[in-house]
Structure 1
Amino acid sequence: MREFERKQLLERIERESATVGASIPEEITVQGNEIDLQEFVFEIRRRDTIPQGERERVERAKKNLRRERLQRKQRIEDGEITYEEGDRLAEAIIGIDRALNELESLGPVDIEAEAQAQEAADRKRWMSFLRKALGHADDDSGHGVSGRGR
């Protein structure tokens, strides 16, 4: 594979919009085990609530999918494969990302941590609003002084 092709594939898998319209692979080999990925994701997504035992299974699946994604990406980075193989790996990575997005959107397992994260995000939005409203949006110093007296 030529260098520009390798870079093109890597850019494709890192693009934020890569998973838009992508489908979850029906089956995928993860850590040497064949998984019915599409069925697993849809089964988990159908449930209103996820019991504790299933949460652990989902977390394990996400961890294994992330590891598999990294390994496939590293094969592309190494560049010692054909472009066609790299293209297949990129498609699989995008499918893995799509599955991870679906599994991540199930919501956090730790409700308290999510509440704290939401509160921090609200505080950050509020501070940003105040900085803009007071005319300090472009001030990088963070001291609330907008260039006066300098």
Structure 2
Amino acid sequence: MKEYKRKGLLERVNREAATVGASIPETIELDGEQIQLRSFVFEIKRRETIPPGERERVETAKRNLRRERRRRFDRLESEEMSYAEGEQLAETIVGIDRALEALEGLEPVDLEAEEQRREAADRKRWMSFLRQALGHDDDANRRF
């Protein structure tokens, strides 16, 4: 592949909006093992949050995908290949990025901790209101 074509592919892979309209690869080989990437991402994404039991599995998948993306990017950047091979590799890299974006968008939700934070914020707002309504805010400022 000619160097200017390689640079074009690398630029396409690194473009900020590269994943817009990109599809997640059906399968991908990670460490010699075929992974059903699209079905995994859709299974996790369907839940909207990462359940506590799945958190480690998702984090491991993200680490493996980042490592594989880097490996493939390095190949695209340095190995000799045809333009068609480079284009296929670039498409896979963008698909990996799309999968990572989908998985990164999910945050583990601890419902109990979230409820405690809300209750604490409500108490704080209520106490602030009471201090203002009773005129105690001025007293607190005069002590210092």
Q: Following the alignment from structure 1 to structure 2, what is the Cα–Cα distance between the partners of residues 15 and 27?
A: 23
CA offsets 1:35-68 (integer angstroms, 9 cap, x no match): 1111000100111442223110000000000000
Unaligned 5+ residue runs, structure 1? 113-150
Going by fraction, where is helix more abundant, 1 or 2?
Answer: 2
8 Å contact from structure 1 (residues 27, 37) kept in 2: yes
Classify the secondary structure of the residue corresponding to 1:17: coil
Aligned residues: 113
Q: Following the alignment from structure 1 to structure 2, what is the Cα–Cα distance between the partners of residues 109 and 56?
A: 14
CA change 1:86–1:48 in 2 (3 A) is: closer
1:49-88 equivalent positions in 2, closer than 5 A:
49-88=49-88
Equivalent in the alignment of 1:98 = 98
CA change 1:48–1:105 in 2 (3 A) is: closer
Higher relative contact order (CA 8 A, sep 6+): 2
Unaligned 5+ residue runs, structure 2? 115-144
TM-score (ref. length: structure 1)? 0.69
Amino acid at match of 2:40: F
Structure number with greater Rg is 2
Q: Following the alignment from structure 1 to structure 2, what is the Cα–Cα distance between the partners of residues 91 and 55?
A: 28
Q: Following the alignment from structure 1 to structure 2, what is the Cα–Cα distance between the partners of residues 23 and 79?
A: 25
8 Å contact from structure 2 (residues 10, 76) kept in 1: yes
Deviation (angstroms), 1:108: 5.4
CA change 1:52–1:10 in 2 (3 A) is: same
Identity percentage over the alignment? 64
8 Å contact from structure 2 (residues 52, 108) kept in 1: no
Classify the secondary structure of the residue corresponding to 1:29: strand
Amino acid at match of 1:78: S
TM-score (ref. length: structure 2)? 0.72
Q: Following the alignment from structure 1 to structure 2, what is the Cα–Cα distance between the partners of residues 63 and 52?
A: 18
Amino acid at match of 1:35: I
Runs of 4+ in 1 over 3 A off after TM superposition: 108-112
CA offsets 1:88-137 (integer angstroms, 9 cap, x no match): 1000000000000000000257989xxxxxxxxxxxxxxxxxxxxxxxxx
Equivalent in the alignment of 2:46 = 46
CA change 1:86–1:109 in 2 (3 A) is: farther
Classify the secondary structure of the residue corresponding to 2:17: helix
User: RMSD of aligned C-alpha atoms?
Assistant: 2.1
